């Protein structure tokens, strides 16, 4: 049994995340989220504006029929696991690494040929005694491999030569076995053989597919079935994480054979409520000198932060122009594109390189790297079909079911506000340098 100290260590390591740009270097995770929210504000739809999340009707019989595990014997599952093992990644530090890593695909829809890509990094020490954690990046539409694994909490960082890797001392696999999942199909290396799937992505199907991935993946890695399991993510994963948790709890009540040992969720800088998120972002911009009093007053005059907001509110918001800053840390240096196609950081911040998205983009597009990850390439488009305005009812439902929920925030200027939670606090909020004392308590 894994104690609370191990779980607390996971939360402590969240201190050390610096959110960077996606390996699709043309758009950062913040860009994706802003684009998504702007599209919903300008072209609202009944499906996208549902007030609450509804677990997809997978059902116990349907789930059982979809689980591809039924078609594989134990020996075949072992063979699939062996095939997924990564011998070494190109540019790995000399001397190898002291942990096992796996990557590959799990089919979640046999009929349409929809499969999700994962990357598992096990703990260097006592992996068999450590919990399992699933990491999901946001967007919607951002890569958990290019973001989470290679720039945030994974074991490696891509160096500025675009070819070699260095170890990340703050990697979360020091305290847990971590799966990075590319979700939904069409993101990163995940794919579908049915092109129309890419235009049907939404919260409900994303949660259902992630659940089916986990149920099937645990058959390939049965040693993790009884481990404490946690789900974590950031940004739009403020939707993904609680929605997947709700789906797991619902499916656990249907089928004990595929029950997943979910122990808690933790989400960083989450989008939990679209209106309150926007209200908090406006307040953050103004309080940090990123907009004038005149612009702030005009927004306050025209925006109520609810469904009644119209053209006047949109016009007021369009006047916001924070300029050339890092959206994840307004105090950090930025990466500048030179006229000759080169790029360079405007300053130095220990442990953070604002140009890392370019290094990662180049590295992950190397055919040798893709081969080492057992990946196939694909393309996709963003057309989100359903996304509830607020995750607050879903999160409240998880808390009512006694599932631990941890929400942490930093200097992300777009998802930094307490306003989006609107939930009663069971403990006093603490700032990060006091966190070790809280963990000890």
The total domain count for the chain is 1
C-alpha dihedral (231, 234, 236, 238), degrees to nearest 10: 50
* Parent domain of 222: 4-273+356-411
User: Which of residues 261 and 13 earns the better pLDDT score?
Assistant: 261
How many of the other CB atoms lie within 10 Å of CB of 64?
A: 16
| pLDDT greater at residue 342 or residue 419 | 342
CATH number for the domain that contains residue 159: 3.40.50.1820
CA distance 270 to 29: 12
With pLDDT > 90 as the criterion, what percentage of the chain qualifies?
Answer: 41
Nearest to 232 by CA among 405, 401, 67: 405
The closest of 97, 62, 68 to 80, measured between CA atoms, is: 68
Tell me how many degrees the CA angle 278-324-383 measures, rounded to the nearest 5.
50
φ and ψ at residue 318, rounded to 5 degrees:
-65, -20
Could you tell me which residues are beta bridge partners of residue 159? none
Q: Residue 157 and residue 167: Cα distance in Å, rounded?
A: 6
**pLDDT bracket for residue 407 (50, 70, 90):** confident
Domain-embedded: residue 313: no
E strand or H helix that includes residue 266: strand 262-270
Residue 105: beta bridge partners? 117
Whether 113 is in a domain gets the answer yes
Q: Is the pLDDT confidence value at 175 over 90?
A: yes
What is the structure's pLDDT at 15? 32
Model confidence, pTM? 0.83
> pLDDT by residue (tens digit) across 272-285?
888 888 888 888 88
Q: How confident is the model at residue 155 (pLDDT cuts 50, 70, 90)?
A: very high
Give 437's pLDDT tier (boundaries 50, 70, 90).
very low
Whether 436 maps to a domain, the answer reads no
Buried b (16+ CB within 10 A) or exposed e, 159-196: eeebebbeebebbbbbbbbbbbbbbbbbbbbbbbeeee
Phi-psi map region of 126: left, alpha, beta (phi>0 left; psi -120 to 50 alpha): left
Choose the most confident range, by mean pLDDT, from 186-190, 248-252, 328-332.
248-252
Distances (CA, A) of 115 to 185, 197, 231, 335, 355: 7, 11, 20, 34, 31
Structure tokens at 223: 């040693």
CA distances from 365 to 103, 143, 158, 369 (A): 16, 13, 12, 7
Give the pLDDT confidence of 296-332 residue by residue, as tens digits: 999 999 999 888 888 999 899 988 887 788 877 788 8
Task: Show the tokens assigned to 138.
Answer: 């946001």
Given a contact cutoff of 8 angstroms between Cβ atoms, the answer to whether 438 and 408 are in contact is no
Question: Pairing relation of β-strands 101-109 and 262-270?
Answer: unpaired
* 240 against 1, higher pLDDT: 240
- Domain-embedded: residue 347: no
Contact (Cβ atoms closer than 8 angstroms) between residue 274 and residue 389: yes
**C-alpha to C-alpha distance for 229 and 218, rounded to whole angstroms:** 11
232 assigned to some structural domain: yes
Dist CA 116 CA 65 (whole Å): 18
Residue 51, pLDDT score: 54
Angle at 85 between CA 84 and CA 88, to 5 degrees: 130
Whether 11 is covered by a domain: the verdict is yes
Q: Is residue 433 part of a domain?
A: no
- For residue 213, is it within any domain? yes
In this predicted structure, the answer to whether residue 10 has a pLDDT above a threshold of 70 is no
Confidence of residue 65 (pLDDT cuts 50, 70, 90): very low
At residue 391, the pLDDT reads 83
pLDDT for 39 equals: 56
């Amino acid at each position: 049994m894994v104690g609370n100290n191990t779980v607390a260590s996971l939360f402590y390591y969240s201190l050390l995340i610096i959110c960077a740009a996606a390996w699709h270097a043309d758009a950062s995770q913040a860009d994706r989220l802003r684009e998504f929210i702007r599209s919903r504000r300008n072209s609202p739809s009944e499906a996208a504006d549902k007030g609450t999340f509804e677990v997809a009707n997978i059902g116990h019989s349907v789930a059982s029929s979809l689980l591809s595990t039924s078609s594989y014997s134990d020996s075949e599952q072992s063979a699939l696991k062996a095939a997924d093992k990564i011998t070494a990644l190109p540019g790995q530090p000399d001397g190898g690494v002291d942990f096992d890593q796996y990557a590959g695909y799990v089919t979640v829809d046999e009929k349409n040929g929809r499969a999700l890509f994962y990357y598992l990094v096990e703990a260097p020490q006592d992996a068999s005694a450590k919990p399992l954690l699933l990491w999901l990046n946001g967007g919607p539409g951002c890569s958990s491999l290019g973001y989470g694994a290679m720039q945030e909490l994974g074991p490696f960082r891509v160096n500025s030569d675009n070819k070699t890797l260095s170890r990340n001392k703050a990697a979360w696999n020091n305290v847990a076995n971590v799966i990075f999942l590319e979700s939904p199909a069409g993101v990163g290396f995940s794919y579908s053989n049915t092109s129309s799937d890419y235009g049907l992505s939404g919260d409900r199907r994303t949660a259902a597919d992630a659940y089916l991935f986990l149920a099937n993946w645990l058959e390939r890695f049965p040693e993790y079935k009884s481990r404490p399991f946690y789900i974590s993510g950031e940004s739009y994963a403020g939707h993904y994480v609680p929605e997947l948790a709700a789906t797991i709890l619902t499916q656990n009540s249907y089928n004990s054979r595929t029950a997943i040992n979910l122990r808690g969720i933790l989400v960083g800088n989450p989008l939990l409520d679209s209106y309150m998120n926007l209200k908090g972002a406006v307040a953050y911009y103004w309080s940090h000198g990123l907009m004038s009093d005149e612009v702030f007053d005009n927004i306050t005059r025209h925006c109520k932060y609810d469904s009644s907001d119209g053209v006047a509110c949109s016009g007021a918001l369009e006047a916001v122009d924070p300029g050339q800053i890092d959206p994840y840390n307004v105090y950090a240096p930025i990466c500048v594109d030179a006229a000759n196609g080169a790029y360079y950081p405007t300053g130095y911040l220990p442990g953070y390189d604002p140009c890392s998205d370019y290094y990662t983009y180049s590295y992950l597009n190397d055919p040798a790297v893709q081969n080492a990850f057992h990946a196939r390439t694909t393309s996709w488009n963003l057309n989100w079909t359903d996304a509830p305005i607020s995750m607050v009812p879903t999160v409240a439902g998880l808390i009512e079911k006694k599932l631990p929920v941890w929400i942490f925030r930093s200097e992300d200027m777009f998802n930094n506000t307490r306003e989006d939670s609107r939930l009663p606090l069971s403990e006093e909020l603490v700032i990060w340098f006091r966190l070790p004392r809280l963990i000890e308590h």
